[in-house]
Amino acid sequence: MKLDWDIDKTWTLFLDRDGVINERVFGGYILQTKDFVFKEGVLESASSLFGKFGKVFIVTNQQCIGKALITEVELNAIHNWMCKKFSENKARINAVFVAGELKNTVPSRRKPSIEMGLDAKGKYPEIDFSKSIMVGDTDSDLEFGLKLGMKTVLIESEERCDLSPNIKLASLTDFNKML
């Protein structure tokens, strides 16, 4: 099945990290690059998938910073390594936005808050949220996208989701095949 969303370079792709790009560690955190395992097919399909969009962003909740399990500098090193791996596979991430505070912190940048999306638009004013897609594996990812008026894609995992996305898929590779 092909989607009829007319994706072109005027569209923006927003991706959650854990559970979408890399294997999610339920009950734990990715604290070193050696623990960061790309999901099957992600690196191989990234060039084709990301190339369909004008901009690609990662928006990720990382309360491991708030828990003092990792510093922002250490997390940035993981993200730089991840972006380098994408680049080696001819895929480009424009920016990574992180919400590092603990759950239930007020105010919060954590999804489903739209702050990371607004940060992206502040840096890239050409973003049109009605021509954007949020890909995630949790209700907070979907709610983030819905609040901003994006189309939503759920990558199914062990996480129970109550919200209804535009489509549900097993992987980013499957999403790429639909575009």
Q: Tell me which residues are annotated as active site.
A: 16, 18
Angle between helices 72-88 and 42-50 (to 10 degrees): 80
154 forms beta bridges with 136, 168
Strand partners, 153: 135, 167
Answer positive or negative: Cα dihedral of 29, 172, 164, 109.
positive
Q: In one letter, which amino acid is 46?
A: A
Q: Two tokens at 160?
A: 């129970």
